[in-house]
A and B are shown apart, each in its own frame.
Chain A
């Protein structure tokens, strides 16, 4: 049988540093082989040379669009080994920032999805709105993309009245924008035609492939770590886990759209009454964790993010393992869904899974 091999990526705008070779016969895709590694920086190994304070700097770089989830997973794992009690105020600030991070990540994704559909104005508008949350990051931490805000024992900086005012302002703005996105993007005839029925994944297949996060919830499985194993201040807030039944690209997109609305509501609930008190436990920069290990999972914007930290009693972790959500999405689920689809659907399937190559390669 004759077939043609065409490359997908690794140029940034189409694939985000992810490379795959697609075997096609005419329009039909016969198979897809992923070739990752363009962003492999070996973070897990680099962390074995650095103390926890330094590692917080590295963690942000694991996923560029959703940095705070990585920080939350690591610091919680270290705090669990050290049996550290984090002040309640720090937990609230962390949760506010995590949810703002989720909105940031999902809004960036609207842009990426728009790009995959050849709908460039969606990309411009969404990435412009993303700036609202980047500015909040800057106010609280000084860093726009990489806040490096969480530390073992709390958060590096406290929230200011200015931050609270600007947050409400940004949330009001984004809530209005969400209706606008509905009218020009999510209810757009072209968008619906391009995504409905494309890349359909059944619930049991999705679980077998290791799919998590909004991609799994779009198949009807209500697995959300914020609800099942609540961490930080999530037990204090009311929110709905957004699920859909169809399991196609359209359902995955609408799940994310629903999550933005839920996150806006969570941040509002938390901002209303942030408890007083200190925002961190002051620790020695060379803080030594006792011997032991812990496994901590958080619900990142893109799915299940787990940190397995092994400590041998020194200030440096013996081993850190990061289980990023995108690993299963782009290396396992994407080739599975690509087989039998058409070339034009490849970018739609890829971006509807919302993988982050930085977090896949680590």
Chain B
């Protein structure tokens, strides 16, 4: 199946679900509504997108939304598909795709830790890289790394005096 065929195939299966479709020479990119996301991913898997390369989250704080980007590749057809889905920032919950791609479990666990997005159906969303983290998830836009480092490591000026050159 060629890149332009994927769009027409998905449009036939899920009328009016796809938006912002852009096809390049390497990949096709499109966005879907949250309620369509799991069925569309299932369909992509069944037409040969067997490699889940990555799951990315982007924090669009101005629009109060998170964007999840699923990076898929089909090894037989040698093409990529990027599917974007927006979820509300206030109640960030998405369905887990662990049942479709075994490798998804760790990607979702990482996003859960760094962005605080919940994945329903993921068997293990415990801490991955961080330890005893009590602040807001650190990759969100409202977490200021520089302020945190200053307060955490340089806060007590008597104990850690700032050396001025």
Contacts and interface: CB of A to CB of B under 8 A. Distances in A.
Interface of A: 36-37, 40, 42, 44-46, 49, 204, 207-210, 212, 221, 223, 228-229, 295, 297, 304, 306, 308, 310, 318-319, 321, 323, 327-328, 331-332, 361
B71 A295 contact: yes
A207 B139 CA distance: 29
Interface in B107-143: 107, 110, 128-131, 138-139
Contacts of B59: 319
Interface string B37-48: 000000000000
Contact of A36 (B29, B71, B128, B146): B128
A332 B71 CA distance: 17
A210 B129 contact: no
A308 to B, nearest CB: 5
Given A46-B145, A308-B71, 15 more contacts: A40-B130, A45-B139, A49-B145, A207-B75, A208-B101, A223-B51, A228-B78, A229-B78, A295-B71, A295-B80, A306-B53, A321-B58, A323-B53, A332-B103, A332-B106
A209 B104 CA distance: 8
Given A308-B54, A319-B58, A210 B128 contact: no
Majority secondary structure of chain B interface residues (helix, strand, loop or mixed) = mixed
Contacts of B129: 36-37, 40, 361
Contacts of A306: 53-54, 71
A228 B74 CA distance: 11
A223 B50 CA distance: 13
Contacts of B82: 295
Contact of A308 (B26, B69, B75, B128): B69
Contacts of B75: 207, 221, 223
Interface in B2-40: 26-27, 29
A359 B129 CA distance: 13
A209 B58 CA distance: 24
A46 B75 CA distance: 33
A332 B102 contact: yes
Nearest to B144: A49
A209 B146 CA distance: 36
Given A37-B128, A221-B75, A295-B82, A308 B56 contact: yes
Contacts of A228: 78
Interface in B65-108: 69, 71, 75, 78, 80, 82, 101-103, 105-107
Contacts of A204: 50
Nearest to A331: B106
A21 to B, nearest CB: 13
Contacts of B69: 308, 321
A81 to B, nearest CB: 13
Contact of B130 (A37, A44, A207): A37
A328 B139 contact: no
B106 A327 contact: yes
A219 to B, nearest CB: 11
Contacts of B145: 42, 45-46, 49
A229 B3 CA distance: 14
A40 B138 CA distance: 12
A47 to B, nearest CB: 11
A97 to B, nearest CB: 23
Contacts of B29: 295
Contacts of B71: 295, 306, 308, 323
